[in-house]
């Protein structure tokens, strides 16, 4: 050694056993649940392979089924005009944007899509990201810092919660749609923080209900906080022309600070957007890590979303048909004795079942009878609130809905009669 002293002795290594992926507790839970399903001879309802385009019908194992498991709310995914736009973009640009728009430059379709989204939702500007989930995680995580505060609805999507965690801000959850409680929290805590964000959704994807947006806007005013609305499920669904919850509630879109949405549902692509003031969008465009350090949206996806907006703006009757379908589903289900919880009769309705195993079993029975509707089980919802979830599209006919409700009611009643009462938790 250079000082001519004693050579450094190698430090003793403390032996540790490398963790085994196979022993991770979450994985063990999944295996236990699968073993129980196997005992009941119920097929795994998750990761099924669907062929072709999912709309009012879908194809599984060569069978055509009535489909209530897609977010293709207005039937735009697979619409000839949308597919043609994507194909033309592939021919012109190739598939990938290859790098961040900041360094590698953007394509005309990026700018056009952002202009169109901003125009459609009634905001000054918009910015698109490559994933809806990553939009919430990245934007909330970036906008708030450890001394800030976020208040979010207890039924908020995972991406909102993950963004809140990433930010390091103080997190407070208020009971679902309980704005009295939200106001209490705001009154008690808002003054003590620099930035305060209230995050809600336009249409909740578990219960199919909506918040009182006018009240949320009044609280935003009163307490001087930012209001963010996730319109993943409400864009194209709420409001007479599908502009979302602001249109539905008769609220000025400028009274919401951050509009967030996804391109994966009504807009038949993939990715997320933020729409709001020019300052918000400029801030994110130059500083949000999930935008700056991530690839730009693939041009064919952007082109498909633009074409989807074209069809949506031209054919608002699709929105009206979806609304009529949502209301019909709820009305028929109630008449058949099914419990649709708090569904407001938009594109999403649960049918309450009561425990995870029954939900998985019922979904399997429906599948055998030609209806695809997925079970939602613990931990996505509390165990006693396990349910089937029906997503409507504007493409469903009255007969499709009536048939699905009739089959569901029959199978639900048969299950109750059989006294099928095994609890997933007990397995
Ligand atoms: N927000 C909400 C409310 C969602 O339901 C979802 C996904 N279903 C997302 C964000 C994430 O969007 P994406 O699937 O497009 O990544």
Sketch the domain layout of the chain as residue ranges. 35-67+316-426, 80-314
- pLDDT per position as a tens digit, 175-195: 999 999 999 999 999 999 999
Q: Which atom of ligand 1 is nearest to the CA of 270?
A: 15
- Per-residue pLDDT, averaged over 355-382, amounts to 92
Residues 6+ away with beta carbon under 8 Å from 18: none
Residues with a catalytic annotation lie at 205, 233, 265
Task: Look at the block and give the residue holding tokens 């994985």.
Answer: 27
Q: What angle do CA 61, 381, 234 make, to 5 degrees?
A: 75
Element holding 272 (H helix, E strand) = strand 272-276
Reported pTM: 0.94
pLDDT at position 32: 86
Ligand 1 centre to CA of 262 (Å) is 6
pLDDT at position 43: 82
Ligand 1 centre to CA of 233 (Å) is 8
| Topology (CATH) of 35-67+316-426 | 3.90.1150
- pLDDT band at 426; cut points 50, 70, 90: very low
Q: Which atom of ligand 1 is nearest to the CA of 71?
A: 8
pLDDT at position 427: 34
Return the residue whose CA atom lies nearest to atom 15 of ligand 1: 132
- Per-residue pLDDT, averaged over 405-425, amounts to 79
Rounded to an integer, what distance in angstroms lies between the CA atom of residue 265 and that of residue 234? 9
Pocket of ligand 1 (CB under 6 A): 131-133, 136, 157, 159, 201, 205, 230, 232-233, 262, 264, 272
β-pairing, 374-376 vs 387-391, is antiparallel
* Residue of 202, 262, 266, 267 best suited for mutating to test ligand 1, as the one with most atoms within 8 Å of CB: 262
| Topology (CATH) of 80-314 | 3.40.640
pLDDT at position 234: 98
Ligand 1 centre to CA of 15 (Å) is 43
Query: 376 phi and psi, to 5 degrees?
Result: -115, 120
Rounded to an integer, what distance in angstroms lies between the CA atom of residue 46 and that of residue 59? 15
Interface predicted TM-score of the whole assembly (ipTM), two decimals = 0.99
pLDDT at position 64: 96
């Amino acid at each position: 050694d250079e000082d001519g002293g004693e050579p450094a002795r190698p430090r003793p290594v403390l032996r540790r056993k490398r963790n085994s992926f196979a022993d991770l507790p979450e994985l063990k839970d999944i295996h236990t649940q699968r073993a129980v399903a196997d005992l009941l001879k119920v097929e795994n309802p998750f990761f099924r392979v669907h062929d072709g385009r999912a709309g009012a019908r879908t194809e599984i194992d060569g069978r055509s089924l009535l489909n209530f498991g897609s977010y293709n709310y207005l039937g735009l995914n697979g619409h000839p005009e949308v597919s043609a736009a994507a194909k033309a973009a592939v021919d012109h640009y190739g598939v990938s944007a290859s790098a961040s728009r900041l360094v590698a430059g953007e394509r005309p379709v990026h700018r056009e899509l952002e202009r169109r989204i901003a125009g459609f939702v009634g905001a000054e500007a918009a910015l698109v990201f490559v994933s809806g989930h990553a939009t919430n995680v990245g934007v909330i995580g970036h906008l708030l810092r450890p001394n800030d505060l976020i208040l979010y609805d207890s039924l908020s999507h995972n991406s909102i919660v993950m963004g809140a965690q990433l930010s390091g801000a103080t997190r407070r959850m208020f009971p679902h749609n309980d704005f009295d409680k939200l106001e209490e929290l705001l009154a008690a805590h808002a003054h003590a923080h620099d930035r305060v964000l209230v995050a809600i959704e336009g249409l909740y994807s578990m219960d199919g209900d909506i918040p009182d947006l006018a009240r949320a806007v009044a609280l935003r005013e009163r307490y001087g906080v930012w209001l963010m609305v996730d319109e993943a499920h409400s864009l194209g669904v709420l409001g007479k022309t599908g502009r979302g919850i602001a249109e539905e509630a008769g609220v000025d879109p400028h009274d919401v600070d951050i509009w967030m949405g996804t391109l994966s549902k009504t807009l038949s692509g993939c990715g997320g957007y933020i729409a709001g003031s020019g300052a918000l969008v400029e801030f994110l465009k130059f500083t949000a890590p999930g935008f700056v350090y991530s690839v730009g949206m693939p041009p064919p996806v952007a082109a498909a979303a633009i074409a989807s907006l074209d069809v949506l703006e031209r054919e608002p009757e699709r929105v009206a048909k979806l609304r009529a379908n949502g209301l019909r589903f709820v009305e028929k289900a109630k008449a058949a004795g099914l419990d649709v919880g708090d569904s407001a009769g938009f594109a999403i309705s649960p049918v309450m079942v009561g425990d995870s195993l029954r939900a998985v079993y019922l979904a399997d029975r429906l599948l055998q009878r030609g209806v695809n509707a997925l079970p939602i089980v613990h931990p996505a919802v509390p165990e006693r609130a396990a349910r089937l979830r029906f997503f409507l599209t504007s493409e469903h006919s009255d007969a499709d809905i009536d048939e699905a409700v009739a089959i569901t009611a029959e199978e639900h009643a048969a299950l109750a009669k059989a006294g099928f009462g095994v609890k997933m938790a007990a397995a």
